Structure 1
Amino acid sequence: MLLWLVIFLLLAALAALFGFTEIAVSFAQISRALFFLFILLLITLLLVALFSAPVAEDGPGTSNKTVLLAKIR
């Protein structure tokens, strides 16, 4: 989907180069909207990953199953 941002940016540059200013402005607005959408998605996914990361009790490299088995024994 990031490819669409680059495509609309290139189309805006080409339209501006050939003098089609109204079309260039439209493509630039679409690419700006996609950019902010990607930034919003990035922040959302980073926050979800930050608050839903599993925490092992026994340090790195141990899963919750190993910790649970060690407590049972």
Structure 2
Amino acid sequence: MASADLPALTFGRSKGLGFDRVIIHPTKEMMDWLKNAQSALKAETRAKLYVGLTRARHALAVVYDPADREVVTGFTVFK
């Protein structure tokens, strides 16, 4: 949900822009790939995810509801 003072953009629309903080709502396929780079992810989708992941200057969050005690390598989980 977007707030009047906070932009909500698709990955494509965010290309070339920079933001202090970014929150990404990944698709299931994107999250599967973030958890395991051997998972299938179309090249176009991977490129769009890369754009989203590289927009943040200071902080990046990925919205994900992990299973109990699930560890996602490279991520700090906040509940």
**TM-score, length-scaled by structure 1:** 0.29
**TM-score, length-scaled by structure 2:** 0.28
Higher fraction of strand:
2
Higher relative contact order (CA 8 A, sep 6+): 2
Higher fraction of helix:
1
**Larger-gyration structure (1/2):** 1
